[in-house]
Structure 1
Amino acid sequence: MGTITFLIVLSILVFIHELGHFLAARFFGVKVHVFSIGFGKKLFSKYYRGTEWQFALIPLGGYVKMKGQDDTKPGLVEKGNDSYNNKKPWQRIIILFAGPFANFILAAILYFAIAILGATSLSPTIGNIIENSPAQKAGLKTNDKILRINNTEIKTWKQIGETITQTKGALNFYVQRDNKIQTFVINPHISDSENMFREKIKKRMIGIAPAPKIVTITYSPIEAISFAYDKTVESSKMIFLGVQKLIQGIIPSSEIGGVITIGKVISDASQSSFIALLSITALISVNLGVLNLLPIPALDGGHIMFNIYEIITRRKPSDRVFMYLTIAGWVILGSLMLLGIYNDINRIFLKG
């Protein structure tokens, strides 16, 4: 069942991505010969309104084949106003960007659905207090539930940390204890900590840890729009930073996961809950959008860079340069895929 869920989720993500390219191409009058989910041997196809819609044997991606665009033939020129290569560079950029943009829109829709159905998060309930910390000195206790900090209403544990780090000076904590609300004034201190990338940082802290309690928060439609926007932007920034830290060597290459890891994560999420499945699907959709915008020649981001170059210099890159850079891009992508699979297999054997 997990494998089927993985294939369905991946197919939906690929379909939405390619649909973005397809709709933008058709908007500018570009003919699309093929819309494919998967690569390799064709399993099923149907010709409809000038496009062959198909499922292929290897379901790990997809593509739209437009008239006048072929990475294996950079010098290809197909005449006619319905040819991709005859469109203006800014139009081609929109066609290329439309795929990743569709993934961001899908993620926002999924986050909106999560907010309406009920987003789960850690409760703002204290599970542990560090000895001699500002929280202990102020009088906070285990099982205290933090309701408000200054004028900020607290619904999740994450909001506690965000409020503490984004404010200055002493803070007023409004806490529920034994069905009574008590107020405590706490002055956070600067302590050593780690961020999500395990980098050493210093930040304002009061010395508390969460209790293992989950809260479900349901948002109104207006609140859900804000939630969806914030989560999509937050996820995008996290992935961009992750790529940056990987390039800098802060995140080791052993952390790169392949298709096996993705499949396992989706499978585990589907077995956990429907909300968990929606959440991981939204995150992977953002991931797909961000990674496709990287300036690697074989990706949408690389092709966007070629068109920006054409806008600036008013000439296209030479066929030879285009071909060499595209091959280099495929080598980079192939190497990353192989590394991901290698890491996946290593994890399986290490656990075994």
Structure 2
Amino acid sequence: MSWLVALLVLSALIFFHELGHFAAARAFGVYVEVFSIGFGKRLVSFQWLNTRWQISAIPLGGYVKMKGQDDLDPGAISCDTDSYNCKKPWQRIIILLSGPLANFALAWFFFYALALGGPQALSPVIGNVLHESPANIAGLQKGDLVLSINEERITQWNEISDAVKSSIGTLTFRIERGNTVHILTVNPKISETQNIFKETIQQRMIGIAPSGDTHTLQFTPLTALSYATEETYTSSLLIFQSVQKLLSGIVPAKEVGGVVSIAKITADAAEYGWMSLFFFSALISVNLGVLNLLPIPALDGGHIMFNLYEMIRRKAPSEAVITQLTIGGWVLLLGLMSLGLYNDITRLMQ
């Protein structure tokens, strides 16, 4: 059942991405011939709004086929007023951006629903203090509840981490120990650690770890707006950084996952309830939005680059250049998909 939920979630994310393209295209008067979830042989289809809507055999994505645009034949053009290629470059860019933006909007909705549902967060309770660390020297102890740092209220553990990392000079901790409140001064020191990409970095630290206690965050419909916006921005930035680290070789190629990994993570999340499912669905939706903005010719980002070139140079790239780059883009994408599938199979076998 969880795998069926995973398939439905992935199909929904793809649907909203393509719906973004569809809505923008129709807004600019572009005739949309086909709206497809999946590739390959058509399984089910129907005609609505002068467009053929279909589900295809290979559930690895989807596409909106607009008049005058064909990735498999970049030279295919139409001079009719309702064709994609006859629209101004800035209009085409909006049509192309609308798919990824729909994914970001959907992720925002998931995060907003999570906020209203009451997400769990690590409580600012100290679980361990390293011997002879700045925290130990200052007198912090296991079980201390951190109330504020430099008079800034602390409500969850990540706020302690952020305060220490961004600090300059000493920090004034206000903590609750038993039934009494203590004021302690901590002097962070620069230590060597690893970030989430396993890079060795220098960072201000005080030598404490969380207890593992959690509490429920409470949001009103109004405060949930900022939570959803911040989470969408943070996850988008993280994925952009992940792609950058992958291209620079910091993140090894074996970490690349494919559709099997995505489906498995989504299926596992579904077993833990709707909040877990919404959280991972939001991350996957952001992932789709970011990856489609990469300047690879077969993706939305590549087509945006072509249109930016046309806006700057006042002329479109030659058909030969577009064709060669698009074919190269498809080769690169198929290579990445094959790598992801290979890694997925290797993980399953292990």
Q: TM-score range by the shorter chain?
A: over 0.9
Look up the match of 1:57.
57
Partner Cα distance (2:323, 2:42) in 1: 27
The equivalences for 1:289-308 within 5 A come to 289-308=289-308
Aligned residue for 1:335?
Answer: 335
Deviations 1:174-218 (A, max 9, x none): 212223322211111111111111111111111001112222202
What is the aligned partner in structure 2 of residue 108 from structure 1?
108
Higher mean C-alpha displacement, 175-184 vs 316-325: 175-184
Alpha-carbon distance between aligned partners in 1 of 2:122 and 2:346, rounded to the nearest angstrom: 32
CA distance in 2, matches of 1:52, 1:331: 28
> Scaled by the length of structure 2, what TM-score is found?
0.97
Counterpart residue number, 1:34: 34
Aligned partner of 1:249: which letter? Answer: G
2:172 aligned counterpart, secondary structure: strand
2 CA distance for matches of 1:108 and 1:280? Answer: 12
Alpha-carbon distance, 1:223 to partner: 1.7
Report the alpha carbon displacement of residue 151 of structure 1 after superposing the two structures with TM.
2.5
**Matched letter for residue 340 of structure 1:** G
The match for 1:206 is 206
> Measured at CA, do residues 256 and 49 of structure 1 come closer, stay the same or move farther in structure 2, by a change above 3 Å?
same
Q: CA deviation at 1:72?
A: 2.2
Structure-2 residue corresponding to 1:25: 25
Matching residue's letter, 1:27: A
Shift of 1:315: 1.3
Secondary structure of 2:169's counterpart equals coil
SS at match of 1:221: coil
Cα displacement (A) at 1:90: 0.5
Q: More displaced, 196-205 or 119-128?
A: 119-128
**More displaced stretch, 340-349 vs 17-26:** 340-349
Which runs of no fewer than 5 residues in structure 2 stay unpaired? Answer: none
Shift of 1:109: 1.1
Match in the other structure for 2:278: 278
Cα displacement (A) at 1:234? 0.8
Match of 2:194 in 1: 194
Paired with 2:241 and 2:166, the residues of 1 have a C-alpha distance of 20
- 4+ residue runs over 3 A deviation: none
Distance 1:109 1:179 in 2: 41
Task: Describe the SS at the equivalent of 1:141.
Answer: coil
CA–CA distance in structure 2, aligned partners of residues 221 and 203 of structure 1: 36
CA distance in 1, matches of 2:234, 2:257: 21
SS state of the match for residue 284, structure 2? helix
Deviations 1:251-293 (A, max 9, x none): 1001101111111111111112211111111011010000000
What does 1:82-231 align with in structure 2 at a 5 Å threshold?
82-231=82-231
Contact 2:148 2:154 in 1 (8 A): yes
For 2:319 and 2:59, how far apart are their aligned partners in 1? 31
The residue type equivalent to 2:11 in the other structure is S
Deviates more, 1:294-303 or 1:50-59: 50-59
Q: CA deviation digits over 1:150-180, x for unaligned, max 9?
A: 2222122111111111221111112122233
